[in-house]
Structure 1
Amino acid sequence: MALGCDNSGSDSNDTSKDTTTASESLLAQFGDAQGRFSEETMQALLEYEDTSNTLALVQLIAVSDAYSFSDYESSIESVWSSVGGSTVFMSTVAATMFAEREFSAIRIAEFPNINALLEAINSDNFTTSINTLYEASTDQTWILGTPGNLPFEPSGSFSDPSLDNLDEDEAIELLLSLGVLDDSGEAVSLYTNIDVMIDMIVSDSPDPFFMMNLIDFYETAQYSDGRETELTGEEANSIYGETIGLILFSYNSGPSYSMDVDIVLTEDTIDWEKIMIVRYASRDAFLNAFLNPAAQEALEHKEAGLENTFVYLTELTETGTEN
């Protein structure tokens, strides 16, 4: 919500000035990093209407100084805990599947309500922590929203012996045989990162990992064949979601975190609408799910539904916990 300016001298104008001052004061709490935020987003925080429900803050960070980042993590956790908040997800980006920006660390903190978050931001220790983060990073995205309720927590492992000990040439042959690559070796789907796919096939890692998805929907679904539709982008993507969801569950995988976006706090060019984190039991689980013919066929609905998306392959940090 953009802030207006009225020089009429009325009482309503005085209130506007007071509100603007509050947003400026809140922005100043971000210290050296305030250039990455805006008065507009601070105003949105101050006007946030839901004061009773749990709130989640998602941070994507391009870390440039690991030592300073470690100092930031220690100090900011004290800030969060002082208001009843806590970090609930910590991961390191292992590969960028599909994105225009590179990040290396992902953090999610939850708070009892908006008032708790504002109290944390208004503390001196917050400013000190953010100054440390500014020195430790080259890029950040902060996204605030409402965490969703998922039916269950995916768990367990999965291994496919047929994918063991494959080299790069064999990986390419596999992708060709399954129709993921065309005859020229190009990906058929917009959202297929061939280099990462090959690395996953060659890797025999049995460990689980997490796909972080930032999502911005088309208002109306846009199918590549030009078909007319009344589906919204979100509705089209849900068709894909219903198909892939059933497949994921059969490989001990599935969504582990969901959030509807309320405010993109940083100065981003994309107005994100949803965040979804999917837990995969292993590389083998991901490959079996993604390469499933039904999943490949349903990809057209995902492509029709998403105007923008960033997707990162992440692994839990040592201090993280398995879901």
Structure 2
Amino acid sequence: MNTNLDFDFARSAERTLTLERNAIDALIPRLDGQFTLACQLILKCEGRVVVTGMGKSGHIARKIASTLASTGTPAFFLHPAEASHGDLGMLTERDVVVALSHSGETAEVTRLLALFKRKGVKLIALTGASASTLANHADALLDGAVEQEACPLNLAPTSSTTVALALGDALAIALLEARGFSKEDFALFHPGGSLGRYLLLTVNDVMRKGVEIPHVSPSASVRVTLFEITTKGLGFACVTDDDNRLIGVYTDGDLRRTLDRNLDIDTTLIGDVMSVQPVSVPPKMLAAEALRIMEQRRITALSVVDEEQRLLGALKIEDLLQRSVV
């Protein structure tokens, strides 16, 4: 091999991406009744979707299985070589198999076809050869044919694997939509990631509670209220009545207005200078929604109340940012 450091790498990449884009574009007219049948077979499946493939197709099969599993369709990857050495025991008659092989003649896959039939499972073939052994044994055929690989030798699986991956994504998303899979469902499948935090964390999980809540009665003086604000460190104080219902808040802005009026902070009652109808949120609200309200209102803290406006907690924007609610 002769290495050429002056090679036009960008031009080569452009050719690759163009060929792979064209291969995906060519898929769209081929989304026919067979694709619909494949979706219906999976939706009717009472077991799991078992995705299998060898070599590069195996890598794509793993990704498809992972995408299906994370979007509401129970699925796992079955290595075709290991299947004939005991792993076929993971397959039940209630499952559906999705088998990938661009040629449709991959030995490790085709030798399993009779076993699939013996188990009575439905078979979906994702192949580039519609007249192949795999295609002929399939209950539904996903046509992954490509005009040429992006590899200039037309040998390395490139366009074909891109097409297979795109078809797998199309299958998973069509099933997701058919199931009515929601953002909340997605978060339940991803509790450990930032998406899970974003979609599952509620105000109740983050808010300050109990003695951490800065609050005073309307008969408290401004000085007492300022001490409460300073002690609790949230930049505001909630004002509550005798039944612990929120009737107002006192903020840094309210303090400036108090001082502008030359009011005595020892004799002025907080009920006379507080802001009424304060912005508040319920404890079950998603933390991400509370953050959106803060950003829209350009405020840095919120009070948390129940249906009867009883004070339950207080929330500061830093609390949300520290929990990675962004």
TM-score range, shorter chain: under 0.3
Q: Which has the higher helix share?
A: 2
Higher relative contact order (CA 8 A, sep 6+): 1
TM (norm. structure 2) is 0.22
Q: Which has the higher strand share?
A: 1
TM (norm. structure 1) is 0.22
* Max Rg structure: 2
